[in-house]
Structure 1
Amino acid sequence: MPEFQYIARDSAGRQHSGTAPAQTQDELIRNLRAQGLLTMEVKLLKQKTGAAISLNPFDYRSIRATDLEYSFHQLSMMLHSGMALLEALAITAEFSRPGARKTWVELGERIQNGEGLSTAMAGHKVFSQMTMQLVRVGEHTGNLDQALVLASEHLEKRRLLRSQLIQALSYPIFVILFAIGITIFMLVKLIPELKKFIGIMGRKLPPITQALIDTSNWINANLPGITAVLATISVTLFLLYQWTPARLWMDRAMLHIPLFGTLFRLSGTAVFARGLGTMLHSGVWLIDALQTMENLLGNRYLALCVANARERVAQGSSLSAPLMESGAFMPILPRMIAVGESSGKVDDILAEMARYHEDLLERAIKRMVGIIGPVTTILIGGLIGFVYAAFLTAMFAAAGGSPHK
């Protein structure tokens, strides 16, 4: 329990000072008043956490989403067992990484000054709008432990979904970059050496070898220009992505890219269903939940569709109608939401839709990796085979032909 140092006066004007434990500063003032003392000054004493010094430099990074995921679960268990919030926060801080400990300590200090947990969280960017919404509802309903469980589960599902998507995209990107690297190495290093060797032999180059050498010469001669063009395109795309109209168009186009577009739509649908269902289940109003989801969706086109749906709902429309008209999410989602609106179980339907689309996303990732693997192997093998064919053709021509005059 936190320890406070106080200075107070009794009815005769005599000064009293000392230390006393209390959950909050207000509780200490009430206790002193019950003893006939008027509080003049109260100061929180810093508590020793007893935490060991970590030699791992990564432990000193600022608090991250994974820290919140586990800490929320711990807080929920302690609150459910009857422990006071301040004591639970102190224990959480004690067993957190040094970089994350500061956040929990600051939350405890702000709560001791009379703020609620959701209000204290607003001063830290690491806590999302959805987390604060869940905590705020939990504070009002007296179910803060359940709200923290929902927040922890949401962070876990979001982490798993993000890792699946990164895994799906990282493999093809790595293979493509590897193929580009091999191609550049062959055209810039290997082919010029082949040209020198054949030139020494004094033989006429076969057409396939000549074409390869001409390509290599062109790339070597224009390499600075090619690099400048690629850099310009990259910077231009980055700047355009910061411009709202261009980002909306690009995010919308991403949903229709062959093979990858389905992954983005499945991911956005799963995130929307999981987040909205979690907030509705905890008691957040639909309008507030939709506004929170606008900030959680990374795809700005999907966020715009949710914003339009929120405006329509505020005007008296159902949620399923504007979502169905937008066509941005997977088609089954608005239809099932309509079923939930009829039965009064929208939160349950959304939870089921989240599980369904998360399963579809996992299958789609495995299927895409299964397709990309053989395709990239064939492409890289064909590229290397073409270079070897050009090399061997030149060798045979040099060995069996006559010197070129």
Structure 2
Amino acid sequence: MPSYSYIAVDAMGKEKKATIDAENQNKAAAQLKKNGLTLISIKEVGMLEKDIKLSFGRKVKPRDLSVFCRQFVSMIEAGVTVIDALGMLEEQTENKRLSAALHEVRTEVEKGQTLSEAMGHQGEIFPEMLVNMVAAGETSGNIELSFSRMAVQFDKTAKLSGLMKKSLAYPVVLLIVAVLIVILMVVKVIPGYAATFEQAGMQLPGITRAMMSMSHVITKFWYLFVGGILLIALGIREWRKTESGKLFFGKIAMKLPMFGKLNIKTYSSQFARTLSTLMYAGIPLIHGIDAVTKLMKNRHFQLQLQSAREEVAKGVPLSEPLRKGGLFPPMVIHMLSIGEETGDIEGMLDKLADYYDEEVEMTTQTVMAAMEPMIIVVMAIIVVILIAAIYAPMLSMYNQLGNM
């Protein structure tokens, strides 16, 4: 669907610059007018411009959504109306995309739409799970609980994401440094040394000649290497969108050495936390499974949950199809089964989520601690090879001088 960049003025005279998705420009203008905006200018956003904005624009992170949920709850509990709370949060929020979305939500709520309906129209900003939770809170009359639970959910997501980034930072820096060193040595240093020895009429050792050949190919045909890497990356990116690609990479994610178990624990935590949150809000189990399935990043887990949903619709306890599927760890099946027997599925899922949150944290630290020495060993091997390529001609020269 095309995107349109527009400049408009709201009922308070405040200028607004943003984008809107619509089938055509007329429908985009009509939607803006419906939202109470006076259009000044509008134009279609080109694909390149759109990609750049999506890639480099500041996204709404889980931490931003957590802060929004907590602030909204505080205002509602203090007696502030929903419309006033949205207006204040729009002004206070530092994230421009979230602020613009809150403006649209407030405008639609003022026109009589429910909060969940208005948030649902901002699907790029507010996750479907949050919208469903708000709708459930509106039905039960306890919207504060829905936002409070979602704040916890977003906090957990942000914490896990931060932990992964922090743990990967050092290994990634080491790898980047290693690659840069190799490129510098192969392209600049080794050819310089080798040229000097060739001028002296020396026969270069095999390892040095191999490095020279590599350097020649890289410097002469660098564009082929860069183009090939880009094509491979784009090909993998497109393949991952296909069903076969999703299944392949989903299986790889579960089978990777060290990371496989970590990923399974992460999926288990996400499943338990999300389903628990939805059920506490009064959302039926079947609808909760649907929502969790959409959030799962691994296609194999999605397919198993879809199959489990069909069994649950027939009256079968959720633990049974999950046990037969064999993807979830035994702990998940056992705790879920106890919850079904005691009638406290939500409580057991909460405990499961807490357990796997700790497991993910400990496993991540263990994996990263194991990776660091492995990367250092690999870097040491690379350095030894490069040093050998540089000093082998020198040793050869000394041997020749010694034999004279």
Normalising by the smaller structure, the TM-score range is 0.7 to 0.9
What is the aligned length?
Answer: 352
- Percent identity over the alignment is 25
Partner residue, 2:93: 96
Paired amino acid for 2:318: L
1:86-123 residue CA offsets vs partner (Å, 9 max, x unmatched): 22222222322372333223222222222111111111
2:256 aligned counterpart, secondary structure: coil
1:252-303 residue CA offsets vs partner (Å, 9 max, x unmatched): 2211111121222121111111111111122111011111111111222222
Contact preservation (8 Å) 2:60, 2:95: no
Contact preservation (8 Å) 2:294, 2:302: yes
Contact preservation (8 Å) 2:62, 2:157: no
Partner residue, 2:33: none
Paired amino acid for 2:78: S
Partner residue, 1:76: 73
Gaps of 5+ in 2: 1-10, 13-35, 39-56
| Structure-to-structure mapping, 1:293-372, within 5 angstroms | 293-372=292-371
Structure 1 residues 330, 288: closer, same or farther in 2, change over 3 A? same
- Structure 1: distance between partners of 2:229 and 2:87: 52
1:328-351 residue CA offsets vs partner (Å, 9 max, x unmatched): 233311221111111111111111
Identify which range, 195-204 or 210-219, moves more after superposition: 210-219
Structure 1 residues 106, 220: closer, same or farther in 2, change over 3 A? closer
- Structure 2: distance between partners of 1:283 and 1:119: 18
Is 2:76 the counterpart of 1:67?
no
Question: Could you say which structure has the larger radius of gyration?
Answer: 1
| Structure-to-structure mapping, 1:36-185, within 5 angstroms | 64-97=61-94, 99=96, 100-125=98-123, 126-185=125-184
Partner residue, 1:28: none
Identify which range, 340-349 or 393-402, moves more after superposition: 393-402
Shift of 1:208: 4.0
Paired amino acid for 1:199: E
Shift of 1:398: 1.8
- Structure 1: distance between partners of 2:37 and 2:196: 80
Structure 1 residues 62, 263: closer, same or farther in 2, change over 3 A? closer
Partner residue, 1:251: 250
Partner residue, 1:198: 197
Partner residue, 2:187: 188
Contact preservation (8 Å) 2:253, 2:263: yes
Shift of 1:170: 4.6
- Structure 2: distance between partners of 1:264 and 1:45: 46
- Structure 1: distance between partners of 2:388 and 2:58: 52
1:301-359 residue CA offsets vs partner (Å, 9 max, x unmatched): 22222111111111221111111222223331122111111111111111111111111
1:21-58 residue CA offsets vs partner (Å, 9 max, x unmatched): xxxxxxxxxxxxxxxxxxxxxxx999xxxxxxxxxxxx
Contact preservation (8 Å) 2:250, 2:298: yes
- Structure 2: distance between partners of 1:393 and 1:64: 53
Contact preservation (8 Å) 2:308, 2:322: yes
1:228-264 residue CA offsets vs partner (Å, 9 max, x unmatched): 4433322221121111222122212211111121222
Root-mean-square deviation (Å): 2.9
Structure 1 residues 61, 238: closer, same or farther in 2, change over 3 A? closer
